Amino acid sequence: MPSFNFSKFLPLFDFSPQVPLVHRDLSWLQFNERVLSEAQKSSNPLLERVKFLAISASNLDEFFAIRVSALEKSIVKAQRRLDWTKTRRLTETRQQLLKGIKRFGDNQKQVLHTLVEELAHHSVFLHLNVERKRPEAQLAREVFEQQIAPYIPAPERFDSKALNTLQSLQTAIILPGGFWLKIPRNLPLIFGHSSQRGSRWDYFFLDHLLALFLGPPQDTGWSTGLVRVTRDGDYEYDLADTHLQEIPDLVRSRVGNRERGKPIRLQWEGNTSSAQLEEAARILGLSPEQVFKAPGSLFLHSLWQLYFSIPPVVNKAHLKTPAPQPKIPKALKQSESVFTVLQKKDLLLHHPYDSFDALVKFIEGASQDPSVLSIEQTIYRMDSVSPLLQHLKTAARSKKVTVVIELRARFDEWNNLNIAEELKKAGVKVFYGFGKLKLHAKVTLVTRKESGQIRYYTHLSTGNYHSATARSYTDLALLTAQEDIGLDARHFFDSVYEGHVPSTFRKMVVAPTRLDKKIHALIAQETEAARMGKSARIFAKVNALVDEETIAALYRASQAGVKVDLVVRGACSLVPGLKGISDNIRVVSILDHYLEHSRIYYFESSHRLYLSSADWMPRNFLRRLEIAFPILDERLYSFLRDVVLPAYLNDTVQGQELTASGVWKPRSSKKNEKPFRSQLFFQELAEKAYRETSLE
């Protein structure tokens, strides 16, 4: 599948001759193309390919709701300021983006049909556009009559203005004769049926069944049309002047507003006439470029259900990557308490290879230990059935437990509201958010009294306290009893409780006050070291790199001779390999079975290595409360520097490298060199209890 070549677009984003930048949204579309390419790779297990197709669709839904809507607002803002140069540049970006998304939809449809054919060879039948005379039509009718028809409302007279009543990502079906009905949002989007012996699986998309059984007979030549509206979901709001008790109601109202935001995309499926689409676009205030034909179904994102519903029976095991068997670190399996272990050494957890149960064990131990005075934790995203919740509630019976929960975590607002209420009922003290700043830092602090002295035990992580994503996201976490880290965590929580942006830390670095400045200072130190002829190197692993000032600093470092290695999963505005600008910069991206989510910053001459919750983006530097925490234990430092960093850079199976022309190319093994896959390597390391490494 071809990728965007950004070389012809670079003049659009060359704000100065020394700082060429690719627009973040065009780079993101490249990222989603890489996701879709995983659905095409025959080397991936078949159901894993189905999963990647689903991810590419759900990614696009969120991209329209957040990024495309933000781009529209930027164009309007530039117009109001009479900044015609910026208006032209952003408008051209928008045109290229929407054109690329239409092509992307064609690729999704092609991939879908390929997967349908290959699934059928394994007795998994995903039926597309069923005809009433086909054998599967009887099964389709049974599914429709039993699982769909009882929940469908009566049709209403269609008035195109009524399209404005559709909520975001809600679907409606337009029927012949001037009728329509809105599809209930609680209906499944894909329906599965298995034979009694589980030897055959049949699946149907909801939109296909609706078109088949709500429309007129197929031999009349008439058909039905379905439409789906995406609305602006990019809402930021300040909690600073809101009373603590009123915050949940404010968040509820804002989430409700998101469902009724400005239309940003119209998708359609079926035999909807061009006149109907033009009228629908006019009513919704959309341009023709914002109207998209569905890539085979409106509900490709629901293929997750197909992925999860087929059981891992022996004869189907080759269709899925085997479920991981994460281990609890050996040090935590010993009879001594977790606190005794941490008094001797820091522990590094590499999820999902190391079990999330290690953190659960830490919180459980704190909840049961009579010497523990308090437990404090931030929550950005947490599953509602997390074992951590029960341990926090248990702890609240005998000690002080405080949680700072960010209710504005996008698309997790309702879940976080429910968790907050559940914790409050159990006696946990709950704080919400932090003014304009989203609290994105992941930190837990346990305060313990030992021999009359206060001692702090801290857990810091690059990822959320979410037991489900801890099995599918790669993240790094630190468990430590180091005093400076504990005192920093103490200062962090105290500042948040008082409504102040925390500052003046011993070891940790926090956004928005210091993180970007610290990163730029460390880049400058490497730059100066290179100019003095010293060995200088920068490594950063982030989900996105789009901050212009940071990119400019990396270009200067490259020009001074600093070796810069970047592992960027998603959008990357930096262009590597440009002569005289970025010759010494390499950009690698890894997409694999697990979502790469850890953030690592390494600066060789400064001997600094940080793990963090923050990407190198303006929002993380300026609009979020983030933490970067240093690795002070030399054992852990050596492991990350000598084992983890090289593994990512040497991945020749799932790694791709960004070229100077803006094209991503697969990385391949050299002649006589064994292919290397970083995630498999990390899994094997954990299974061997990190033998022959500094973590042994």
Residues 251, 342 within the same domain: no
Q: 177: pLDDT confidence band, cut at 50, 70 and 90?
A: confident
> Domain ends where: 433, 465, 499?
499
pLDDT number for residue 1: 47
Residues 535, 642 within the same domain: yes
Strand residue runs (E) in 218-355: 225-231, 263-270, 291-293, 347-351
Q: 184: which 2 tokens? A: 């209930």
Q: Is the pLDDT reported for residue 592 higher than 60?
A: yes
Residues 470, 385 within the same domain: yes
- Is 35 part of any domain? no
d(CA 564, CA 523): 10
Per-residue pLDDT of 553-588, as tens digits, reads 999 999 999 999 999 999 999 999 999 999 999 999
Q: 14: pLDDT confidence band, cut at 50, 70 and 90?
A: very low
Q: 654: pLDDT confidence band, cut at 50, 70 and 90?
A: very high
210, containing H or E segment = helix 206-214
Which residues are CB-contacts of 246 (< 8 A; sequence separation ≥ 6)? none
Which CATH number belongs to the domain containing residue 615 in this structure? 3.30.870.10
d(CA 200, CA 313): 12
Which CATH number belongs to the domain containing residue 146 in this structure? 3.30.1840
* Cα Dmax for the chain: 86
- Report whether the peptide linkage leading into residue 512 is cis, meaning its omega lies within 30 degrees of zero: yes
Q: Is the pLDDT reported for residue 6 higher than 70?
A: no
Task: Identify whether the C-beta of residue 207 lies closer than 8 Å to the C-beta of residue 298.
Answer: yes
Q: 288: pLDDT confidence band, cut at 50, 70 and 90?
A: very high
Per-residue pLDDT of 128-146, as tens digits, reads 988 888 888 999 999 999 9
d(CA 405, CA 396): 16
pLDDT number for residue 11: 39
Per-residue pLDDT of 595-613, as tens digits, reads 999 999 999 999 999 999 9
Residues 516, 646 within the same domain: yes
- Is 386 part of any domain? yes
Per-residue pLDDT of 155-167, as tens digits, reads 999 888 889 999 9
Residues 538, 576 within the same domain: yes
pLDDT number for residue 409: 87
pLDDT number for residue 312: 67
* Range of lowest pLDDT (7-21, 235-249, 287-301, 474-488): 7-21
Region 442-464: what's the mean pLDDT?
97
pLDDT number for residue 418: 94
Number of domains in the chain: 3
What global pTM score does this model have? Answer: 0.93
Site of tokens 């341990």: 391
Known catalytic membership, residue 440: yes
Give me the torsion for CA of 524, 526, 532, 533, rounded to 10°.
-150
- Is 668 part of any domain? yes
- Is 235 part of any domain? yes
Residues 539, 450 within the same domain: no
- Is 452 part of any domain? yes
Give CA separation, 361 vs 342, 368, 531, in Å. Answer: 13, 11, 48
Percentage of the residues of the chain whose pLDDT score is greater than 70: 95
**Which has the closest alpha carbon to 297: 97, 158, 142, 113?**
113
- Is 535 part of any domain? yes
Per-residue pLDDT of 326-358, as tens digits, reads 988 888 877 678 999 999 999 999 999 999 999
Residues 269, 389 within the same domain: no
Residues 669, 536 within the same domain: yes
Amino acid making up residue 651: D
Containing structural domain, residue 532: 510-687
Per-residue pLDDT of 393-421, as tens digits, reads 999 999 999 999 999 888 889 999 999 99
Residues 347, 279 within the same domain: no
- Is 582 part of any domain? yes
- Is 102 part of any domain? no
Site of tokens 């490497």: 526
Residues 567, 658 within the same domain: yes
d(CA 218, CA 207): 16
SS3 of 266, please? strand
Region 117-126: what's the mean pLDDT?
94
End-to-end CA distance of the chain: 43
pLDDT number for residue 10: 42
Residues 357, 308 within the same domain: no
Residues 367, 464 within the same domain: yes
**Which has the closest alpha carbon to 604: 643, 568, 569, 637?**
637
SS3 of 544, please? coil
Question: How confident is the prediction for the chain on average, in pLDDT?
Answer: 91
- Residue 389: exposure state from Cβ atoms within 10 A (0-12, 13-18, ≥19): buried
State the CB neighbour count (10 A cutoff) for residue 49.
25
> Domain ends where: 451, 473, 499?
499
Q: 220: pLDDT confidence band, cut at 50, 70 and 90?
A: very low
Residue 316 DSSP one-character state:
G
Concatenating the DSSP letter of every residue in 561-610 gives T-EEEEEESS-B-B--S-TTTTTTEEEEEE--SSEE--EEEEETTTTEEE
Region 623-644: what's the mean pLDDT?
97
How would you label 128-147 residue by residue, b for 16+ Cβ within 10 Å and e otherwise? Answer: eebeeeeeeeebbbebbeeb
Which residues are CB-contacts of 121 (< 8 A; sequence separation ≥ 6)? none
Q: 347: which 2 tokens? A: 């522990």
Q: 322: pLDDT confidence band, cut at 50, 70 and 90?
A: confident
Strand residue runs (E) in 240-290: 263-270
Percentage of the residues of the chain whose pLDDT score is greater than 90: 75
> Domain ends where: 499, 528, 549?
499
Per-residue pLDDT of 658-674, as tens digits, reads 999 888 999 877 778 89
461, containing H or E segment = strand 453-461
Region 28-52: what's the mean pLDDT?
96
The one catalytic residue in 440, 459, 466, 597 is: 440
